Structure 1
């Protein structure tokens, strides 16, 4: 079996060009960006315009939005001491006012904070 070196080189070059074209998607995927699908679509349809590719690359390298602990259902953990407990109680009260916690859940969490 004879392998043609020029066809192998052209296959490698094609792979490198495709990887370069989808570099914004690769960066977004590796960083765990929350807008991977949108970056992919922008890169796929407008990447050939160079401006679209640059925008997709900048977007993929932009700051990643962190989930707010109050939205994910977890209570934020504050520093130790009275100030930490006070801040946690304020956050619990805010969650109760927004309707994210019932009165019973608020009292249970308040007791946990105060018993530390």
Structure 2
């Protein structure tokens, strides 16, 4: 009975520790590997775990579309004088 309780506690602690990584995986984050590394190496500190969690919950930036409108050059007269 005690072994089952210890196993459940261990699973809960491990699941809580890697919660930011699981969230990032489920949300299909572009920077999943970076979140996992941050969570694995700095998750033991509360600050590292919170940063990984916020990063996992943050919305990915959508690529921006830039539209460039170019004006056609104006025609000049033969003598080079502009109108």
| TM band (smaller chain) | 0.7 to 0.9
Q: TM-score, normalised by structure 1?
A: 0.53
The higher relative CO (CA closer than 8 Å, separation ≥ 6) is in: 2
- Identify the residue that residue 5 of structure 2 maps to in structure 1: 9
The match for 1:37 among 33, 36, 40 is: 33
Distance in 2 (CA, whole Å) between partners of 1:66 and 1:28 is 17
The match for 2:19 among 17, 23, 27 is: 23
Give the aligned CA root-mean-square deviation in angstroms: 1.7
How far is 1:54 from its partner?
0.3
SS in 2 for 1:60: helix
Determine if the alignment matches structure 1 residue 49 to structure 2 residue 49.
Answer: no
Aligned length: 68
Structure 1: gaps spanning 5 or more residues: 71-90, 95-116
> In terms of Rg, which structure is larger?
2
Which structure carries more helix by proportion? 1
Is the Cα contact below 8 Å between 1:34 and 1:65 reproduced in 2?
A: no
Q: TM-score, normalised by structure 2?
A: 0.73
